[in-house]
Amino acid sequence: MSWPFLAVIFSGWIYIDAAYRGPQWQSWVFKPITMLLLLLWAWQTPEMTTFSYLILVGLLASLSADIIQMLPTERMLHTVGALFISHLLYTLYFANPLKLSFYWPPIAILFAVGVVVVLLMWNQLEDMRWPIATYFAMTLLMVWVAAESYLTQPGDMSFSQLAGSLLLLITNIIWLINRYRTSFKAANGIIAACYFLGHFMIVRSLHI
């Protein structure tokens, strides 16, 4: 068991605990540290391929979004743009060995989720309607490609990718509800847990 793996687990636990119980500065510090450790762990993949670097660049894009969120002036468009790039790169990685079968149940479920979430948030999003709708569509596409990969080539690696992408989708749904619809106390803790575990499971797939 490598020390970057242990460091990721320890740092992620501190980040999640701080997001739920505080203090806020501790969450701000350990969120980027956790992402950097995930990058280091991903870099130590035994067999790096050209497509594996998509995960590393995707992690860097997510780290950029985290840093932008910590700036004193809110730059939501930049944050959403960086996360869009991250999920796009993850999708390209998942799609690399994939022969799409267009199995309809995942498509129907994800389409329904997308329509319901966007309709619930549409009026509250105001000038961020189309950027967030586009980013959310990209997240749904990422989950669909991961689901197709698991259905056509079931295995530990494809399951890890699917679990990670689903956790990131849950992160986005709860974040949108908490920010634009109804805020609730446990939201930050749940978002932190799903965000960390989502990226963790995707990086884990590199080591399988």
Q: pLDDT of 67-94, one tens digit each?
A: 998 887 778 889 999 999 999 999 999 9
The low-confidence residues of the chain, meaning pLDDT below 70, are 1, 97-100
Ordered by start, the domain boundaries in the chain are: 3-207
Q: Where are the alpha helices (DSSP H) in 23-51?
A: 24-43
61 in Cβ contact with 85 (< 8 Å): yes
Strands (E), the chain: none
The Cα–Cα gap between 63 and 140 comes to 21
Tallying the residues shown for the chain, one arrives at 208
In order, the DSSP letters of 130-153 are HHHHHHHHHHHHHHHHHHHHHHHS
